[in-house]
Amino acid sequence: MEAEPSSSASSSDGTKTQKYNKVTTTLDLGFRDLCFTTGKGEKAKRILHKMSGAFKSGQLTAILGPSGAGKTSLMNILAGLKTCGVEGRVQVNGAERDLKNFRKRSAYITQKDHLLSNLTVDEYMLAAAHLKLGNGVSNKKKKSIIENVMTTLGLNETGQTRISCLSGGECKRLSIALELVNNPTILFLDEPTSGLDSSSSFQCVSLLRDLARSGRTVVTTIHQPSSRLLEHFDHLYIVAGGSCMYQGPVQSLVPYLHTMNLNCPSYHNPADFAMDIASGEYGDVLSRLVTGIENGRLIYQESPTPTLASPSLSHDTGFYDEDEDVNMLDGNKKNKKKDQTQNERLIYAAPFHTQVAVLLARTWRTIWREKMLTMLRFAAHIVVSILMGMLYWRVGDDAAVIYNNAGLLFFNQLFILFAAMMPTIVTFPLERKVLVREHLNHWYSLKAYYLAKTLADIPFQIVFPTLYLMTVYLMTNQPMSIERFGMLLAITICMSLVAQGIGLLVGAAFSIQVAVFVAPACAIPFLLFSGFFVNLNSIPPYMSWIADVSFFRYAFQGSMVATYGFDRPPLACSQAYCHFRYAQKFLEQFDLGQSSYYMSVVGLLIFFILIRVAGYVVLRFKLRHVRN
């Protein structure tokens, strides 16, 4: 799809607006006898009851209805986000919808604008262009498309502004702008005016109408529009109790209700009147209205004598032959198999490595701009390392205080565990919402996101533990051996990577409130079975498996062996008698005499992989769940 240059034009209401990029193909959406049921068996609940309807290209459609009527459910089904428990047909230009291709050609703009607050508008738009247009479009062309979209959405002045500083209306326009980069043919918007003042709502709806005029099919749910706002919609679809009580032009709503002896009082907002009827305030008239419009099978049109017109769901089939793009939307074509192979390749515009590179650059930029958190993490490692150095001053080579040193080795790993895990837990649930929005709009694959996320964090999981350990190691007078320091550092970095993976897993699975409790609570048993509090051989056999699956045990064991293993010479003794001058004897005291350092590293690496895979599976499940 090529974007055409825009130029200024005057809209019907006289305000100066832009002419939008026209779409080269138009897609009309139709649905027949749509049912949606949640739950199973006795708990099954029917939300939508055999609804039908037709939303045409070039029109701005509003789905209206009281709270709980089923607006969002209907839109999610039409957008292809909900597929479970759905019966009935959804058609595109008269042919069965092919979901994968349909999703590629449509964009879904959620009610809340989940955006990365540390990026500027320009940076966000450029990342969107790289991901949504791929490598086939030159950088120059991408910049011109971005400029075009930003001009038409009135975002030119905000290019250098961080998202955190944008107004609510600007955020909404940016959410729309990001999806317009690849010129989608169908736009779904969930309550785009919620949280906006009347002037911003008006601007937003005017913008949507102009987008529809450029050939797009624009469908939006909306709450309580004012009569001025209502006039901007071309097509109204009113839902009440999971059925359609009106479908047709805005101007025909009052005449239709009049035919059912429901007279809208003068100077009354027709939308409010329709909402009152839908809520049952005018008695049991709903079934009459639903039957009158045949539950959306008909479109009411006012002509000299009011008539009911059947919505046209079919197009001339010759249309497909002219346009390859539309051909992809037809799930019933002869060469479906060939198309499907092609579709697989076409799911994401950018190749995998470009997706990873763009996401990596974007994640680094956001981490870098998250100055407060990054500085706090840095300061925490330095301050705690100095505190530990002072508390355990020169205990490393004194057999008289050897137990203190074991405590220090244990605490080092404990600190690294929490320092790496907690920042991820508090930041990831918010980032997850951005992932859901962008992934569902086909910006990138989950694999690319997950790989970029893992890679982006690695430098921090190396630099911070290294700074911490260097300070502690020197201040506490641990053995002056590069090999031993290197081994202890390797264990500490592995621990940091595992901890960050746990943060990601828990952050992916739970909300912040739950995650901040779950993660430390789950860590406790692993700490108890680390071999520090209870010797490994003293653990009852029926519980010893917990020690085997305790990542912390491997971190503690590795630290001890790196410090006291490998034939360490006898330690100095600051008192007349020191029981543990021989390091091997001390290791045996902890049942670590035969323990292998390398097995500890392998154990931690296995945990690293398992936890990362578990995090990926949880995220995949979450994304599927959003769709269902």
Contacts with ligand ATP by CB under 6 A lie at 38, 45, 47, 65, 67-73
Q: Which is nearer to ligand ATP, 233 or 410 (CB)?
A: 233
Chain position carrying tokens 């290294």: 466
- Whichever of 138 and 511 has its CB closer to ligand ATP, that residue is 511
CB 436 within 8 A of CB 623: yes
- Of 47 and 604, the one with the shorter C-beta distance to ligand ATP is 47
Closer to ligand ATP by CB, 68 or 570: give it. 68
> Any residues with CB less than 8 A from the CB of 338 and at least 6 apart, and which?
none
Check if the beta carbon of residue 471 is closer than 8 Å to that of residue 382: yes
The encoded tokens of residue 304 equal: 């000299």
> What is the nearest approach in angstroms of ligand ATP to the Cβ of residue 82?
8
User: Shortest gap between Cβ of 32 and ligand ATP (angstroms)?
Assistant: 19
Nearer CB in complex with ligand ATP: 67/575: 67
Q: What is the distance between the alpha carbons of residues 598 and 314, in angstroms, rounded to a whole number?
A: 68
Helices (H), 236-394: 253-259, 270-278, 286-292, 318-322, 324-327, 336-346, 352-369, 371-391
CB 217 within 8 A of CB 245: no
Structure tokens given for 342: 């092609």
Q: Which residues pair with 91 in a beta bridge?
A: 30, 96
Q: How far apart are CA 496 and CA 518, in angstroms?
A: 18
CB of 437 to ligand ATP, least distance (A): 18
Q: Using the minimum distance from each CB to ligand ATP, give the nearer residue, 71 or 612.
A: 71
What is the residue-wise DSSP string for 442-509?
TSS-HHHHHHHHHHHHHHHHHHHHHHHHHHHHHHTT----HHHHHHHHHHHHHHHHHHHHHHHHHHHH
Retrieve residue 589's tokens: 């005291």
CB of 42 to ligand ATP, least distance (A): 14
* Cβ 514 to ligand ATP shortest distance, Å: 20
Of residues 70 and 80, the one with the C-beta less far from ligand ATP: 70
User: CB of residue 223 vs ligand ATP: minimum separation in angstroms?
Assistant: 6
As measured in angstroms, the least distance from the Cβ of 108 to ligand ATP is 14
Q: CB 404 → ligand ATP: shortest distance, Å?
A: 56
SS3 186: strand
Residue 245 beta carbon to ligand ATP: minimum distance, rounded to whole angstroms: 13
Q: Write down the least CB distance from residue 201 to ligand ATP, Å.
A: 16
Q: How far is the CB of 294 from ligand ATP (least distance, A)?
A: 21
Query: Distances in Å between the alpha carbon of 176 and those of 2, 151, 155, 156?
Result: 18, 13, 11, 14
CB 210 within 8 A of CB 6: no
* 596: phi then psi, degrees, rounded to nearest 5: -105, 130
**Identity of the amino acid at 161:** T
Q: In angstroms, what is the minimal distance from the CB of 78 to ligand ATP?
A: 12
Taking the C-alpha atoms of residue 248 and residue 613, their distance in angstroms, rounded to an integer, is 50
Q: Which is nearer to ligand ATP, 278 or 326 (CB)?
A: 278
C-alpha distances (whole Å) from 6 to each of 18, 203, 205 are 7, 19, 19
Q: Minimal distance in Å, beta carbon 193 to ligand ATP?
A: 13
Question: Which one, 42 or 567, has the nearer CB to ligand ATP?
Answer: 42
Q: How far apart are CA 421 and CA 419, in angstroms?
A: 6
Instruction: Considering the complex, state which of residue 365 and residue 622 has its C-beta at the smaller distance from ligand ATP.
Output: 622
61 C-beta neighbours (distance < 10 Å), count = 26
* Closest to ligand ATP by CB, 220 or 530: 220
DSSP state of 539: S
Nearer to ligand ATP, 191 or 330 (CB): 191
Nearer to ligand ATP, 81 or 491 (CB): 81
Distance of CA 7 to the CA centre of its chain: 34
Three-state DSSP class for residue 103: helix
DSSP result, 282-307? T-S-HHHHHHHTGGGTSEEE--SS-E
